[in-house]
Structures are given as C-alpha cells and as structure tokens.
A = this chain, B = another copy of it.
Amino acid sequence: MRLSNTLTQITGGGSDGWELFIKARKMIAEGRDVTELTIGEHDIKTDTRILEAMHGAALGGATGYAMVPGIDPLRTAVAERLTHRTGVRTALDNVLITAGGQAALFAAFRAALDAGDSALYIDPYYATYPGTIRSVGGVPVAVTAPAENGFQPDIDALDKAAATSGAKALLINSPNNPTGAVYTRDTLERLAQIAHKHDLIVISDEVYDTQVWEGAHLSIRALEGMAERTFVVGSMSKSHAMTGSRVGWLVGPAHAMGHVTNLLTNTNYGVAGFTQQAALFALGLGETFEEEIAAPFKRRRALAQAALKGQNALRLSPPSGAMYLMLDIRASGLTGDAFADRLLTERAIAVMPGESFGTAAAGHVRVAMTIPDAPFEAALKEMVAFGATLA
C-alpha cells in the first residue's frame, strides 16, 4: 500500500520528543512508582452533574444524528460566552461545534491552507501544531518566542518569516501551553499588525482562556479589524475538565462557517447530541464552576513559587496562565532532555523536556500541575534536592 506523502510526513521526521513520556509509562507498567507531571489533564474527573445531564439527554432521545454545525442551543451558549468574555458580538452562525479543540484546529487549517501553503506558528508549541498543518498538506514555519522575552513571540522575526514564506495563516496560543505565557495587549496588537500587513488568517487557540493567573485573557479577535480574519479555537476540555468528551468549537466569520460546515460533514458528520447537551449543561454552571476547575492550578502555582524560591538550578518564572510550569534548568549545565531523563531515572519524577516543544524551550522542562497538592509539593521538593546535586 503506497500511502500519501501527506500522511507519512505528518510527524515531519524529527523526533517528537515524547521518548521520556513513553519511558515513564514503561516504568509505571513495570510497577515503578513514578510521579507523572507530563500531561495536560486535570487530576479530577468530569463532574457527575455533567455526566448525569449527558445521560438524561441520551435517555431522552438525543442518540440520532445531530445537526452537523452543532445544536442551536449550544452554538448560542458558546456565542454568548464569547460575546461576554471577549467583548466581540458573536452569534450562532459564527460558531460551529467540533469534536474537541483539536478538530477545530484542524478545520481552521483546512479552511486557511491549500496543499503547499505555509503557516506560521510560535515555538515553543503544543505537540500537534506542526502535524496539524502538515495534515492538510501545509508547510509549518516556526517563529520563536524567546525565554528571554518571557516567551512572548519575536515580532520582527515573525514579520520576516511572513514575508519570506508567503504564509497564509498564523497560529497563536494564549494562555500558552507549554510556556504559561499570556500574551500582552502590546504583543497581540503587534501580531494583529503583522496579520493585516501580510493578509494572514489568524488561528487563535484559546482553550486555556479560564486559566489566567496574572493579567487578563484578551482575544486577538477583539482587536480592531481582526474578527474578519480570525478563527478562535475553543474547547470544554480544560475549562470544564471534560478532556475525554471531545467537544469544542470553532468561531469565525459567518461567511466562512458555511464552508467549514461542508468540511465537518466530511470529517466527522457532527458531534454526538448527548455530548453537546452535556456541554450545554456544563456551560450553564457558569463562571463559578469554571473558577472551581481552574483553582487547583492557581493554588499549585503558589506552592511552586514557594518551593522553588531562590533556586538556581531550577529557575521558575511563574506562569501567567495555563496548567504548567516552565523551569529554566540551564544553570544546571544540562539540556532539558538530559535533566528530564536523569530526574526520571534517579528520582522517578517525569517532566517534559523543553526540547519536545521546539527549539525555544531548550534548557527548560515543563512541569504539569496536574496531580494533587500534597504529592505535587513533595515532587517539587524532590526536584529541588535533585537540582542541588547538580549545582
């Protein structure tokens, strides 16, 4: 079977940097007691009330084909949420319900790119970004967000890369995974200028929009003239601890959404009606619920600030958002890969090497704040002790 080049080249050919993750899983399978700080997933399950709402909807008959763009009440609820949270008037016909944020991301790139078109993305980056671009035959072009710049993107480099590559799209992610950076208004305004200058479609992954610890979430779609050229990717995964339910949305100009609906018809043929009802119920729980879901990460961020205070081998710049810490371990003299490997081998703690998120996070490790407070604090102390052996 001769597979398409598009398929076989999705992973690019470079290492995807997840060797450590796999090694940790193997150790666990062998019975080792490994503290896993690798995954962007809550340590709680989806709230039982949401599951009961889903079951009620299923028993009530929401088991047949749902409308491909999503059920109207959920599209409306998402539209109202974006209107409220971002200040951009958003209507039902700006919203399509997708099988998770990843499906929205994929749809956005299919909407923006023909095969051979380039798309810009920011390094460090979430694992699927370049692969998603390649999945539609696109060419991913990375632009760094240097650690020295607080992981805010290098706008001049972006300007040049846009000109050189002739890119059609720019993907941004704020609050950011893996860095925890929340883009400032200044950054976003400069990104918007670049988008106008080079006629880029902006794909703004805002799935961490409820996890902001400093400053406030600002959507680039809210800046002048940007609603017409921006797709926003959203999801119930992080904000409502519904990672496994696979329900999210794509928001964009109404004229584009009709075309994207055609794509959704041919990719998933819609999202389960009962899942959409569950999401609708969950959104109805309001901001208090979203704050409850976000609270543990805020708390653990404070624990980390205390535990890592004054550490040189593991330097923490507290994240402004999202559920991760990015530790600068360059003073240890190790690469992120080597640090993570030794931390796993010697202390049975699994963190992600910064190198697995691109070049700009080299010499860092990403620590997911996704285990309960007590073992999280214990792991931090262990890491500090480990760091002391390197100094």
Contact = CB atoms under 8 A, between A and B. Distances in A.
A6 B136 contact: yes
Contacts of A106: 266-268
Nearest to A230: B1
A62 B46 CA distance: 9
B7 A259 contact: yes
A185 to B, nearest CB: 23
A263 interface: yes
A54 B59 CA distance: 11
A253 B55 contact: no
A64 B51 contact: no
B259 A246 contact: no
B272 A246 contact: yes
Contacts of A7: 110-111, 259-260, 262-263
A266 B132 contact: yes
A51 B2 CA distance: 40
A155 interface: no
A66 to B, nearest CB: 6
A11 interface: yes
A227 B46 CA distance: 40
Interface of A: 1-8, 10-11, 39, 41, 45-46, 48, 51, 54-55, 58-59, 61-66, 99-100, 102-103, 105-106, 110-117, 128, 131-132, 134-137, 168, 199, 201, 228-229, 241-246, 252-253, 255-256, 259-260, 262-263, 265-275
14 contacts: A1-B228, A1-B253, A3-B259, A6-B114, A6-B136, A7-B263, A10-B266, A46-B63, A51-B55, A51-B58, A51-B59, A99-B246, A105-B266, A131-B266
Counting from the closest, the 10 A-B pairs by CB-CB distance are A115-B115, A46-B63, A102-B269, A55-B55, A10-B262, A132-B266, A135-B266, A51-B58, A4-B114, A64-B244
